[in-house]
Structure 1
């Protein structure tokens, strides 16, 4: 079992914060998180590209190259693998593993389950040590229909964990945990169970998705409102030197 896989079987779920650049990832790691994920929305938004449209392959790989050698375990949000060709997805996963990523998140976008299963199998062939978190969007973009059948297919294809964003009902979460043979990942949402409740339900991984990025944008607007109103900006503000030190850390690594 890899160190990243082991985090999914430790006491309590793996709380996985999601970063969008070098500074945010290093900041999260410095806060004590042993593993950090990326968020496809932030990567796409930073590049002025749409999320979930297979438009950010190069940006995603570039970020993985930047973060893969950092002192934390890196899992990469790769949308649907940026291709419908399983072999191309497998090759992309191989490139991620080569630069130091230890996990990949692959979403089905409610496309054909057999195609997504083929992508998962291709990734496990190309990068056997990469932890594949297979996401289904049955709750994110639908009414939950077909969830179990899809997850069973993804398990059979070799997924190391499965991700069901949008799933918030405690009874349904508990039922899935009992049904699955691999760790269940859910998305932390304001309307869903909190971390202690998710722990009791048996969830093994809790992702924050784009939450931190969106909160960062919101905090920037709040700070601007404070300045406009003549108030000192609220909240925690890292110093110039602290942020600059993160970039200098990267320069020293290179």
Structure 2
């Protein structure tokens, strides 16, 4: 376990950004692993939406833990988005994270945005970070500050102050979603003495440009989940319209079935042989 945590940490210091794609179920994570992604994160929106629950409200602690239990069997380094920790009690957050770590999870995202659209007091988030690091010292804690995400006034000073507080509490990385302005990211990476994580935005800078600004990690967030949902809806619309708008290059039934661990497979049925 120590070697896996060290490997994940080292991926933030290679001189180029770690692309961390975010999965929402076993198939998406297994597919990403099969495409060669060594490290994978989870997306809280994808997990929540798939469970029929709202994101960012602390409603998916059980679903997140259940997903981590399934994904931990994959040959990847797994980081889990736990929103704000699913509790206001630092000890409860630490206990939850310790359970994740026991499954093999090597990192977490812990955010300071609240369900009502405001920011938590930085001391409260720092207390959670400190409790987690005390419980699982080797786990990579990516402390997310939603200063840009929530559109606060003059976000740079608040971001830097919160980053300092979270680092002092033991955070290993700082996640600042909501800005891909390269000049801003250069300031952040120069003034934050820890790996800085940016959120990829379609139409924004690519990995090379983000790396040139000093970004150490790039997450896709809910993008892959939303892209998959859009593709499914477009395919259904295309079939209903009588057209041929179904995307090309779809994985076959057998390829998807092959993502399931061998110990979960049973003798093929007539239904599976038909590819339904």
TM-score if structure 1 supplies the norm length? 0.96
Matched, 1:186 2:198: yes
Partners of 2:109 and 2:143 within 8 A in 1: yes
1:64 to 65, 68, 93: 68
- Asked if 1 retains the 8 angstrom alpha-carbon contact of 2:234 and 2:245, the reply is no
Residue equivalent to 2:36: 32
CA distance in 2, matches of 1:160, 1:181: 10
Q: How far apart are 1:221 and its partner, in Å? A: 1.3
Q: Would you say 1:177 and 2:186 are equivalent positions?
A: no
Match of 1:21 in 2: 25
Distance apart, 1:233 and its partner CA: 1.3
RMSD value, Cα:
1.3
Residue number in structure 2 paired with 1:198: 210
Q: Cα offset for 1:132?
A: 0.2
- Contact (CA 8 Å) 1:168, 1:191: kept in 2 or not? no
Instruction: Please give the secondary structure, in 2, of the residue aligned with 1:12.
Output: coil
Q: Is the 8 A contact 1:35 1:74 kept in 2?
A: yes
Q: Residues 26-71 of structure 1, C-alpha deviation per residue, up to 9 Å, x if partnerless?
A: 1001101100000000111111111000000010011111111210
- Quote the residue 1:242 is aligned against: 255
Structure 1, unpaired ranges of 5+: none
Structure ID, larger Rg = 2
SS of 2:59 mapped into structure 1? coil
TM-superposition CA deviations, 1:143-193 (whole Å, max 9, x none): 325111001101111000000000122111001101111100000002532
Task: Describe how 1:157-172 pairs up with structure 2 within 5 A.
Answer: 157-172=169-184
State the TM-score, normalizing by the size of structure 2: 0.88
CA contact (8 A) 2:175 2:198 kept: yes
Structure 1 residue matching 2:260: 3-state secondary structure = helix
Aligned mate of 2:125, from 102, 112, 116: 116
